[in-house]
Each structure stands twice: as C-alpha cells, then as structure tokens.
Amino acid sequence: MKIKVFADTICGWCYISHTRFLKVIKNFKNKSFVFEHVPFQLNPDMPKKGIKRQDYLKYKFGSEEAAKPMYDSMIQEALKENLKFNLEKIEFTPNTNFSHILTKLAFSKNIGHEVLGKIFDAYFSKGKNIGNKDVLVEIGKSSNINEKEIYDAFSSEKEIIEINKSDVLARNMGIKGVPFFNINNKTYISGAQSSTNLIEAIRANL
C-alpha cells in the first residue's frame, strides 16, 4: 500500500499524525506500506533565515493571545500520543527547506520515519532551530547519515527546486493545509484524524 504524506516539519498536527499513523499501521502486520514524504511549506514566503517566533505569531495570527487556543488544543492532542510539546522553548520559526531535504534523504535510506520524528522532536520538544544546517546535520548523523552527504544535499539547487515544486503541486491539487494523506491514489485524508478514522481508511484500501 502506497501512502503519500504531505507535511511540513513545523506543523504540530503533522507531528501528531506522523506518530499516530505509525502506531496505527501496527494493526496491519501482514500488510506492506510504502511511504513518500511530500514537502509542503506552511510559509512558502518565509525568509531563508526564518523569523523570531513572536514576530511569526503576530504575522500569522495577529497576536500570541490569538494563537493560544489553537496551540493549547494541539498540546492536548499531542499528549494523547505521549508527545510533550514545549512551545515556550521555540525562539525561532524557520524556513523548512533544509529539513525537507534531510527528510527526503532519510527516506531514500529507509530511515525516513526515524529522522522525521527526530526533526519534529528537536523543534516541538527541544525548541531547536531546524532551519539551521548544523542542527539538522547532527540529527542526520545521529541516524548514521554521512555528514558530507547531508551538506552536499543542502548545497544542491536541484533539491531546493524540487521542494518548491512539491509545494506548488500540493496547492494546485487544492491542498491548503497539512497533514494530508493520499492512500493508493484512492483515499484522501486531511487533517489530524483519529486512529479510528485512519484504520478505516486503510481497511478501505485492502
């Protein structure tokens, strides 16, 4: 079963869904799953160096107070998956191009879920700047990806072009938010769905 997952690495709902989906597929022990991470950028116009989180919240929501109800809901939903979000540690909202490149590289080595999980954890739990190449290289190295290979991927203009193409493709498909799941080009799921809904979607494609 092929599953395309449209996601951004600074999307908390994507982190929750990523964790939940990996738990759900354990219910289908005799089924083979092939995942493809499709980069989506919640902020396609984000400066390469990113911006301070406080400035981002003002830009995106009008104020930190206006954003609080959504983030409070996200934190509570994360706890259901035993994920501890420490949003107060986040000082910087990054451009996510490089984190997508590392994720793509990891999936090519069949360790995509592992590395993507570490990227999510670095941002949402530890408050690290995942737009910083050195931070991402350390994440990659912790999963035994060669440092030079990572830096080479970051230096590739082709990789940046591919990231942008994926984002444009998603928007042309009408995808305005993530996570978004495409299961066997037959079933489409938008948003952080419950485990029950995810199981039903998979069963519909068996």
Residue 176 has pLDDT above 90, yes or no: no
> What's the mean per-residue pLDDT of the chain?
95
pLDDT, one tens digit per residue, over 58-111 is: 999 999 899 999 999 999 999 999 999 999 999 999 999 999 999 999 999 999
Separation in Å, CA 63 to CA 56, 57, 168: 9, 6, 28
Instruction: Output the 3-class SS for the chain.
Output: CEEEEEECCCCHHHHHHHHHHHHHHHHCCCCCCEEEEEECCCCCCCCCCCEEHHHHHHHHHCCHHHHHHHHHHHHHHHHCCCCCCCHHHCCEECCCHHHHHHHHHHHHCCCHHHHHHHHHHHHHCCCCCCCCHHHHHHHHHHCCCCHHHHHHHHCCHHHHHHHHHHHHHHHHCCCCCCCEEEECCCEEEECCCCHHHHHHHHHCCC
To the nearest whole percent, how much of the chain has pLDDT over 90? 91
Strands 180-183 and 187-190: antiparallel
pLDDT at position 167: 87
Q: Using the structure block, give the residue that is written with the tokens 């999936």.
A: 107
State the Cα angle at 93 between 89 and 97, rounded to 5°.
Answer: 130
Which residue, among 96, 94, 91, has the nearest Cα to 7 in the 3D structure?
Answer: 96
pLDDT at position 18: 95
Residues whose CB falls within 8 Å of the CB of residue 120, separated by 6 or more in sequence, listed in order: 9, 14, 15, 18
Taking a C-beta distance cutoff of 8 angstroms, is the pair 94, 131 a contact? Answer: yes
Which residue, among 103, 145, 138, has the nearest Cα to 15 in the 3D structure?
Answer: 103
Taking a C-beta distance cutoff of 8 angstroms, is the pair 124, 86 a contact? Answer: yes
CA distance 66 to 49: 25
pTM of the model: 0.95
